[in-house]
Amino acid sequence: MKARRGIVAGIAVALMVIMAGLSSASQTRIHLVTYTMGGLTIDHWRSMVGKFMEANPDIHCEVQIFSGGEYNDKILTMIAADNAPDLMQTWAQYKPKFVQMGLLRDITSQWEQSSVVRRARLYPFVVEAAKSGGRLYGVPFDYNSHIWYINMDHLYESGVAPPNVNWTVEDFRELARKLTSPTKGVYGTLNSVALASTQNLQWSRLWIGEDWVSADRKTVMVDSPAYMEMTSFWNELQNTLNVTPGWPGAWSHLGDYYRGGLAMWMGWLSYAAAFADRVNHDWAFALMPKAPAGQLSFAQGHMFSIPVASRNAEAAWRLAEWMMSYEGQRSAVVDLKRPPSGPYNDLWNEFFAMLGPEKSSYARDWVMNVFYGPGLVYTMDYWETYPEANNIMAEHLRNVFSRQAPVGNEPRNAAAKIRMLLEQ
């Protein structure tokens, strides 16, 4: 009897091994590649794709992560070596270049035919982040926007009223002046335009309604009178009113916004989710101050794209499509600590949960009702030579704000160089 039971048990084990082998053989294997961001490890990503695989047992997804500094070169190398991933994260700044090179699959028809996408609740401006020339080349991921953070404790100690939704750049200048306190080691704000990059683009858009180049990418705007006026505005804040660090002989302060050295700070919306561990003062959000061209906030979103060279594009699309579903968005919030892409009350609660009940409710309501609800954002559409243009702008803005060069000369010199880029 024992021998018979042993034979039966052996057969059962053998059948389990065979069935496992058959199951594995019937799976489609896909390869997702991303990069290190916000403290995420490969385990965070495996947790996310694990939820997808539970719902889609016929697909097995492997994850590979590179550092941010090497990521884009690694992607190009893999594609050139005929070893393209099936799904890859595409940076907003590299989207135009990758589309121009023909590396990314156009998924517009799949998106439009997807019942999963039709059921998803997505902010329209988030979807724009995955488009180029009106066509979709990925699914949106990690959409983020510029906002202002206000140190409410310092504001009340200074006897100053907080900014309202209709505040202007003149209000901003006056508030920065009133909140600057050498005796307390607090500056009104940080120079938001001195280092070029996205914050300078933000103020360019506020002041002139354009980026450094026109919407058709044919005209350089940084030598326009309006852009020079914006640069002079910040030059006055730093080098005349001394409400930001960086002026000659600047006094020392308490440090960054987290340590209380800045009364107002322009940063990404996603930063707020971690404030509970970093900020010791009470704080509040504020919109962009109204400038000559409005008050829309600079926003950008990366995306997950399917390379044209993917060997398993249909399976990769199922993962990308799942990421747009409620379950996929919840995983992005819970597992990857990324903000949701749509007006989901519970997911915004989850994203801000570590702030505690009172502050998380405030943050959720502000985002959903004051900021994203009215759509007070514009989604940046980069151009192919943006990285080179950014290097040019950084050089000439450094001359203005660090070396006190005349404001007019530097934008003109920068414009001449960027114009050559566009002509090439």
How many helices (H) and strands (E) would you count in the chain? 17, 10
Domain at 145-298+377-423, CATH from 3.40.50.1000, 3.40.190.10, 3.40.50.150, 3.40.309.10: 3.40.190.10
Domain 145-298+377-423 in the same topology as domain 27-143+300-366: yes
Ramachandran angles phi, psi of 408, nearest 5°? -65, -40
Structure tokens at 179: 């909140």
**Residue with the two structure tokens 């889609």:** 56
Is 14 a residue whose pLDDT tops 50?
no
One-letter amino acid identity for 49? V
Tens digit of each residue's pLDDT (9 = 90 or more) over 302-345: 999 999 999 999 999 999 999 999 999 999 999 999 999 999 99
Is 2 a residue whose pLDDT tops 80?
no
pLDDT at 277: 83
pLDDT at 34: 97
Is 3 a residue whose pLDDT tops 90?
no
- Cα 180 to Cα 250: distance, rounded to the nearest angstrom: 12
Tens digit of each residue's pLDDT (9 = 90 or more) over 372-403: 999 999 999 999 999 999 999 999 999 999 99
Tens digit of each residue's pLDDT (9 = 90 or more) over 94-125: 999 999 999 999 999 999 999 999 999 999 99
Instruction: Between 137 and 4, name the one with better pLDDT.
Output: 137
- Cα 136 to Cα 130: distance, rounded to the nearest angstrom: 6
How much is the mean pLDDT over the chain? Answer: 93
Q: Count of CB atoms within 10 A of residue 215's CB?
A: 12
Are residues 261 and 185 in contact, defined by beta-carbon separation less than 8 angstroms? yes
CATH superfamily of 27-143+300-366: Periplasmic binding protein-like II (3.40.190.10)
Is 21 a residue whose pLDDT tops 70?
no
pLDDT at 276: 83
At 20, the pLDDT band (50, 70, 90 cuts) reads very low
Are residues 15 and 299 in contact, defined by beta-carbon separation less than 8 angstroms? no
Residue/partner pairs of 373-376 with CB below 8 Å, 24 or more apart: 373/343, 375/123, 375/124, 375/125, 376/287, 376/288, 376/295, 376/296, 376/297
Ramachandran angles phi, psi of 187, nearest 5°? -95, 155
pLDDT at 26: 80
- Cα 348 to Cα 368: distance, rounded to the nearest angstrom: 8
| CA 113 remoteness from chain centre | 27
Is 1 a residue whose pLDDT tops 70?
no
Tens digit of each residue's pLDDT (9 = 90 or more) over 268-300: 999 999 898 889 999 999 999 999 999 999 999
Q: Delimit the domains of the chain by residue range.
A: 27-143+300-366, 145-298+377-423
Ramachandran angles phi, psi of 413, nearest 5°? -65, -40
Tens digit of each residue's pLDDT (9 = 90 or more) over 228-267: 999 999 999 999 999 999 999 999 999 999 999 999 999 9
Is 354 a residue whose pLDDT tops 80?
yes
Are residues 227 and 204 in contact, defined by beta-carbon separation less than 8 angstroms? yes
- Cα 300 to Cα 144: distance, rounded to the nearest angstrom: 6
One-letter amino acid identity for 168? T
In order of 14, 37, 307, 349, 390, the CA distances from 313 in angstroms are 34, 25, 8, 34, 34
**Which residues are within 8 A (CB) of 121 and not within 5 positions of it... i.e. 6 or more apart?**
326, 342, 343, 344
One-letter amino acid identity for 336? L
**Residue with the two structure tokens 């801000």:** 352
